Structure 1
Amino acid sequence: MQTNFPFNHKYLMNVLESIRDGIIIMNPDGDIIYFNDAAETITGYSREEVIGLPCTVLDTDTCVILTESGRQRCCSLFEDGTPIHEKKCRIRSKSGKTVYLLKNAVMLKDDRGEPIGAVESITDITSLYMKELELEELKQELRQHYWFMGLLGNSVPMHKLFDKIRNAASSDAPVLICGESGTGKELVANAIHKLSSRKKGPFVKMNCASLNEYLLESELFGHKKGSFTGAISDRKGRFEAADRGSIFLDEIGDMPQAMQVKLLRVLEEKIIERVGEHKPINVDIRLISATHQDLYDLVAQGRFRQDLMYRVNAIIVHTPPLRERRDDIPLLVTHHLKKISITNDKTIKGLSSPALEILKNYRWPGNVRQLINALEHAAVTCKSDTIEVSDLPDYVFGETGLINNEVEDEADKIKDALTTYKGNRTLAAKHLGISRVTLWKRIKDYNIQV
């Protein structure tokens, strides 16, 4: 215990008044006995106006109900002591304006456990709520014409993709989604699941490139307590979690060969065994896998089993790269710029014609993901409500030299981070601001020796 903590009434009041969230304290009857500065700002009421009044004066939609005798308090906190945790609600401010809040509240008890009041914190999330509404309106607008299960496009290649998704969803056979990074393979997998007969079941995802063979086996098959160091309890694997649903294995081409044999057995027998246990468990799953590599080349190189390839590719769906559907670029630009504008609270009406022409003519090796990054860069650098050529990232003006320089710079940064953290990929990824999966891919792509 900290014996020198300056805990006195004046110190506590200073702490409460300095907090940016609204703090309200009630007595056991629900009457307000404390109201800090932030609560005044959020609600529009001064403390003099509310002290001594019941908390229902704030007209919170989750705490007040209308009855024949008027407004009545309906609060689980005072009824049975159940804490309120990050509950979204709204109040009517003094000016009559609706304010959207995130609320937390707990009962205060004395040394004998008897309730002596309650304390509540309120955070104004009105601006965030309005942004969510704008984004939902944007999605609804797009769904009418260009939106298909989270995929955006109106070009011929995209309509062909939508047809393939519908066809794949009508079957229960394994699906292999092939396409470059950034083309939306996970969105396609999710769409197939949601349109299939398994849509009410779980959709479980796993990236095969993110873990080594032993961790991947534990993640997919689960493990028995004590089967290896760190296995402190029984754990259900992702195959079991996906029972009666679909499992999505991304980057299946990077799956270790020992795991390929085990996956083949699952597909053939619909049975798994947890690590450290020999009890067979039946699973009813639909496999959807994806890769940015050519599995036939991997088979020829001896890196992927041929029998497994024929098991996973019963239905093949190709996601078109952005350069093959340039007609969608104006639509994608409009949609993502609206999202960026709403998120960053910055009005950006669009691109100038020359800037849009440059984006349409660039090859986009990183596809839609890279286009979004380019738009985010341009939105930050532009000084008006229109993105000009000068606001675009340098790499869109040349497809060779600039890109190669960027690759070299990124490879050097990764090497430096790995050296600094003595090969610890988790710390290096955190330092670089990327995920461990992304770091692992970059190490492979740039042939960095760890």
Structure 2
Amino acid sequence: MIPKTSEKFWEKMVDTMMEGLVVVSSRGTILAVNRAMEEITGYSRAELVGHPCSLIKTDSCIAPCTSGRCKTCELFQTGFVRRRKAALVKKDGGLVHVLKNAVLLKGDDGQAVGVETFTDITEVVAQERVIYRLRRELNREDGFQGIIGRSPVMMPLFSLIASAAQSDAPTIIYGESGTGKELVAGAIHRLSPRRQGPLIKVNVAALHESLLESELFGHVKGAFTGADRSRLGRFEAADGGDIFLDEVGDMPLSTQAKLLRVLQEKIIERVGDHQPIPINVRLISATNKNLGQLMAEGRFREDLYYRINVIPIHLPPLRERKEDIPLLVEAFIERARLKSKKPIKGISKEALEKLLAHQWPGNVRELINVIEYAFVLCQEGNILPEHLPQLINPKSLHSTSTRKNGGRLFQEQARELLLKAMRTAGGNKAEAARILGVSRVTLWKKLKKYNLQLEAEEEISDDAEEGNEF
């Protein structure tokens, strides 16, 4: 039973509401508002109460009037308004997106008043716009399932991806780092009959050999030190869908043997258990390695190679499809603009020419990194050549002497860029990878390649312990 309370109590309760509340007379005069409505509109209570409701400007309201030819407020005609989206103009001229509900109530004197609530949904509308733009990008005519390109080398690739999606046969995606192998795996899954099932992604290179089998096949309680409970493996989690094994060329030989059995028999055994578990999973794998060379070196099983290489898909490096660079730049600028909210319109002709002249050893991922770098330096207008990283240097492509030393020059610049990113991130590898626009696994590999692990740690502060996650 609701206790009897004073009018003051109800006023306080209304003021605690997150939704804006407005009470309007049949003549269109604002009788009361709550604190949330003041925050939404930017007007104080004194500026609203006693004034016409037309002061609260929305694009879904027809204000009443007392004389002349005019329309009556819809609320007083229909008696209610339900979940109507509207844009409300604040006192300072800014826009707030709101969800409006309204109803008519009659007092003891028989006079009707309108009670309206306004819920601020500005963030929701912003997210909807981002989702819309991403969907538009996913289905844009200049690409296929989020893979942007219309160069001659890409069109047959799109057709092959669509055909591979309809098959249950294992598919392997070959390509250099940064070419978009994960995007292709996602496209195959979305276009396949298995799209209602899960797509489970595993980066083989990111997992230690001692943990890889447990991650893939699961384990039972007590299987090894620290296994205090049973765990579902990635293959079980992917049942009914697809599993994507990235960097499959880095898989240890012992795990390769177990993977071969899984593909042949369609069963798995958890680590520490001998109970076979049937699975229904299609394998999509990817590698930037030469598996033929790995087989010759005895580092990759020949029988597994023929099992996973049923449908091979080869992704071209960016330097072999430079016609797509303007499309990619346009898409990445739009994406960065949505994230940063900077008023950057596009890229200048001179800057685009520099991008077209670059050889892109890091492929599309490097291009994304370059655009994000440019967004840090460019504040508005177009991206200019001075906003691009030093690595984007077309002179190195035209000089004979520089061409001979191009590999060494690039390595020196790449080494310095890695060190700079590690210093900026204070030793945090995850943050350094974000700054460079690469995965943490790629960063770890580059640090190892250039023998920078110890050097980077010596040059950063001693308290950057979070950088030791690898």
Does residue 42 of the first structure (1) align with residue 46 of the second (2)?
Answer: no
Give 1:46-445 correspondences, 5 Å limit: 46=44, 70-71=79-80, 93=88, 99-100=96-97, 125-126=122-123, 129-130=125-126, 132-133=128-129, 136-137=132-133, 139-140=135-136, 143-382=139-378, 384-397=380-393, 398=396, 399-400=406-407, 402-409=409-416, 428-430=428-430, 432=432, 434=434, 436-445=440-449
> Structure 1 residues 277, 443: CA separation in 2 closer, same or farther (over 3 Å shift)?
farther
Gaps of 5+ in 2: 1-13, 24-31, 50-55, 59-74, 100-118, 397-405, 455-470
Task: Report how many aligned residue pairs link the two structures.
Answer: 375
Matching residue's letter, 2:259: L
How far apart in 1 are the matches of 2:98 and 2:451? 50
Alignment match of 1:25 (pick from 1, 12, 16): 16
SS of alignment partner, residue 216 of structure 1: helix
For the 8 Å contact 2:22–2:37, the answer to whether it is kept is: no
How far apart in 2 are the matches of 1:415 and 1:137? 33
Query: C-alpha root-mean-square deviation of aligned residues, in Å?
Result: 4.0
How far apart in 1 are the matches of 2:241 and 2:213? 20
SS of alignment partner, residue 396 of structure 1: coil
> Structure 1 residues 70, 345: CA separation in 2 closer, same or farther (over 3 Å shift)?
same
For the 8 Å contact 1:395–1:402, the answer to whether it is kept is: no
How far apart in 1 are the matches of 2:207 and 2:137? 40
Note the alpha carbon deviations across 1:195-223, whole angstroms, 9 max, x for none.
12212211111000011122111111111
How far apart in 1 are the matches of 2:22 and 2:221? 52
SS of alignment partner, residue 395 of structure 1: coil
How far apart in 2 are the matches of 1:299 and 1:225? 36
Question: Normalised by the size of structure 1, how large is the TM-score?
Answer: 0.71
For the 8 Å contact 1:355–1:388, the answer to whether it is kept is: yes
For the 8 Å contact 2:138–2:144, the answer to whether it is kept is: no
Note the alpha carbon deviations across 1:234-264, whole angstroms, 9 max, x for none.
2211101111111000000011111111101
Gaps of 5+ in 1: 1-22, 51-56, 60-65, 75-88, 103-121, 421-426
SS of alignment partner, residue 228 of structure 1: coil
Which fold has the larger relative contact order, with Cα–Cα distance below 8 Å and residues 6 or more apart in sequence? 1
Q: By how many angstroms is 1:324 displaced?
A: 0.6
SS of alignment partner, residue 234 of structure 1: coil
SS of alignment partner, residue 316 of structure 2: coil
Kindly, what percent of the aligned residue pairs are identical? 48
> Structure 1 residues 69, 279: CA separation in 2 closer, same or farther (over 3 Å shift)?
farther
How far apart in 2 are the matches of 1:34 and 1:276? 66
> Structure 1 residues 360, 259: CA separation in 2 closer, same or farther (over 3 Å shift)?
same
Matching residue's letter, 2:40: I
Note the alpha carbon deviations across 1:348-381, whole angstroms, 9 max, x for none.
2222222211111111011111111111222332
SS of alignment partner, residue 235 of structure 1: coil
For the 8 Å contact 1:131–1:342, the answer to whether it is kept is: no
